Chain A
Amino acid sequence: MNASERFCTAYTQSSASLRDQHQQLPWLKTLRENALHEFAAQGLPKPYDEDWKYTRLKQFEQLEFCRAERPASLLPEQMSISLPTCEVGYRLVFINGWYMEHLSTLDHLPPGLVLCNFARALSEYSVDLEATLGNVADREDQPFAALNTAFMEDGVFLQVAADTVVHDPIHCLFLSTASIDDARPRVSYSRLHILLEDNAELSVVEHYLGIKGSGIESLGMKSSGLEEPDSENNELENNHNFTNSLTEILLQPGASLNHYKLQCESPDSSHIAGIHVEQQRGSQFTSHNLSLGAALARNDIRIKLTGENAKCCLNGIYLVGGHQHVDNHTQVDHLVPSCCSEELYKGVIQGHARAVFNGKVVVEPDAQQSDARQINKNLLLSEKAEVDTKPELQIYADDVKCSHGATVGQLDAQALFYLQSRGISKTDAEALLVYAFVSEIIEGIDHPGVQQLIQAPVLEQLSHLIGADSIRLQPQMPTSLTKSGEGVLCH
């Protein structure tokens, strides 16, 4: 039995809870089974698949995944780690895909905001979900989106009523724990469904975090959370988790969403995710996509600009070392006139790590006066580090502005000497330059709590890549006075 067949078999053996759901919600059963067929028809991506040319799943295919057991209900003080938090806002916590109500904080939701875990939404908001679930995501050429749709059990449901502005960010924290025994590697399928009605505004953080041990106090020491890649793993621990997440976002006219994704999975896990967005007239989607963890990470970001004057800004940072592999595939479809898309992805690659960036922009014949810009910049810190970057513009309209650029470079030796000649050690100088390389994106994050949440693991990963004890940033001066090098997208 090959890997695709194993997934299909798992479906037929799927849990009683799924079968119960299907009795209540026949439309969900139909959706899942259609998705399963779509997955089975495509199978897992093959080496000759253009979209997966540089990302091979050979090792991944050999793993036999099983669903994680539902963890016991936990209170915050029972956790072995202090959960990372945004200063303010609401939080949903999941462990191995299971919603943990007692770790979550959803009190005092403002009027106009519907926020709950996805499993609960299936029963409470099934009418809304039936009308919209699965409508945005492409599944035909996205086997992992199909797979998620077949297996999705829990995740986040978010709906913001027209003209509602939600100021505090929604922090969705997906924890993966290590298996304690020699159990099979585990898979979790998280699903986020986000719907913003006309002129609604919202910020969401999608946060994936691999933790050592089981996450339970009595079994582990308190740790800082994010594991050091290459750190000595306890032999009994099996961290090879697979997260397959899919985020569907529908932005109705004039809506505005800040979406942050922070991926800090355990060093030997796999993370394959999709973020699929439909943007109607005058809507704005700003994405910050940070990929720091996992052995294998793949993001497919798909934006459909379906209403005039919609604007999307895609910012990305990937920081990888050791034998990590990160692959970001983005696609923006300009379907109607006068839309704008901007993209800035920056990567730091060290050791034997490999990064893939593929930025596709399609401007359809009707989409006159489209404005599409794309930049991908890479910093290689070692001889064996590798990046494959590919812009892909398909332009079928004649009155458009489109540009793209890609760079691959190393740390500037002259700049390093300049810093050292002022008393700054080589390691600190490297840290300063590497952080400077990605800082324009991080400093472009509007919300201070979210910025902090993201900055800490970025600094941790960078110091790991450089071999510094830690990177200390000298306190910044008022940001209103700072001028960044090349203008961060959308802030």
Chain B
Amino acid sequence: MLRINNLHAGIDGNAILKGVNLNVNAGEVHAIMGPNGSGKSTMANVLAGQMDYEVTDGEVLLGEKNLLSLSAHERACEGVFLAFQYPVEIPGVSTIQFLKTALNSIRKYHHLDELDAMDFLEQVKDKMQQVDMDESLLYRAVNEGFSGGEKKRSEILQMLVLEPSLAILDETDSGLDIDALKTVADGVNAFRASSNQGQERAIILVTHYQRLLNYIKPDFVHVLMDGRIVESAGPELALELEAKGYSAWAA
């Protein structure tokens, strides 16, 4: 589904990603781990089309499509979703209006009719229950005054509503207490499970800690160090990292 070949990227002339290679197949969950500053968030943002980052080399294919040639909104319409580490507050735009505009934009891109307002609302309410979100948040401005947990739940809700094929979760576990972490993990697992129902889905989890991986079991764990993937293995690698730290790969 996703093929990253020799990806180089940076910001303001500073190289951050220095040749990332990664293949993600439909149905798989990949965890990207690594110390602070190793390039994890940069990778997530570059894939989502954050134009502050400059791609200097390499290619990224989503299916047959050259992802790097698409704008951020086109990537979203093609099925890429980034759950933000720090979700942005948008005063004056209600969450429900935002979700509806987003979903209808994606539908329009695929030449589908807009959803009926009432059907849409029912769908969203069902999915809110899945992530244990209070319905009143729908009518509040996007992320405005949301607690850390509410913001992360809202990211997962958006993922469930927009139904992307590739979800990239950037430190979605950070700042969550254990109950919220479980709820968020349940949401992600539900999303993952739905790929068995004929939907092609893959997940990239960007995380510091092994903790999240207790709840969302990855198929592969990769260690990102200084802009390169230096080790890839099964879920047992996360446990090893938890025990030994990253020093074994330090240059």
A residues at B contact (CB < 8 Å): 412, 414-415, 417-426, 428-429, 432-433, 435-437, 439-440, 473-478, 481-486
Contacts and interface: CB of A to CB of B under 8 A. Distances in A.
A422 B162 contact: yes
B101 A474 contact: yes
B136 interface: yes
B88 interface: yes
A195 to B, nearest CB: 37
B148 interface: no
25 contacts: A414-B88, A415-B88, A415-B89, A419-B98, A419-B102, A421-B48, A421-B72, A421-B84, A422-B73, A422-B81, A422-B105, A423-B73, A423-B103, A423-B105, A423-B162, A424-B105, A426-B71, A433-B93, A436-B91, A436-B92, A473-B97, A475-B117, A477-B139, A481-B139, A482-B94
B203 interface: no
Contacts of A439: 92
B136 A418 contact: no
Given A437-B92, A485-B92, A424 B139 contact: no
Contact of B102 (A412, A414, A424, A477): A424
B85 to A, nearest CB: 12
Interface string B86-124: 011111111011101111111001000000010001000
A470 to B, nearest CB: 14
B83 to A, nearest CB: 10
Given A432-B93, A433-B93, A477-B94, A422 B139 contact: no
A118 B20 CA distance: 77
B117 A485 contact: no
A155 B132 CA distance: 58
Contacts of A424: 73, 76, 101-102, 105
A475 B77 CA distance: 22
Interface residues of B, number: 42
Contacts of A485: 91-92, 141, 144
Interface in B28-83: 48-51, 71-73, 75-77, 81-82
Contacts of A482: 94, 139
Contacts of B72: 417, 420-421
Interface of B: 48-51, 71-73, 75-77, 81-82, 84, 87-94, 96-98, 100-106, 109, 117, 121, 136, 138-141, 144, 158, 162
Nearest to B102: A422
Contacts of A421: 48-50, 72-73, 75-76, 81-82, 84
Contacts of B90: 412, 415, 418-419, 433, 436
Contacts of A422: 73, 76, 81, 98, 102, 105, 158, 162
B168 to A, nearest CB: 10
Nearest to B88: A418
Given A422-B162, A424-B105, A436-B91, A477 B141 contact: no
A420 B98 contact: no
B141 A483 contact: yes
A483 B141 CA distance: 7
A435 B84 CA distance: 24
Contacts of B138: 477
Q: Which of B77, B100, B105, B140 has the most CB of A within 10 A?
A: B105
A432 B101 contact: yes
Nearest to B48: A421
Nearest to B92: A436
B46 to A, nearest CB: 12
Contacts of B121: 477
Given A415-B88, A421-B73, A437-B92, 5 more contacts: A419-B90, A421-B82, A422-B105, A424-B102, A476-B97
Given A477-B96, A481-B136, A484-B92, A428 B49 contact: no
A425 B140 contact: no
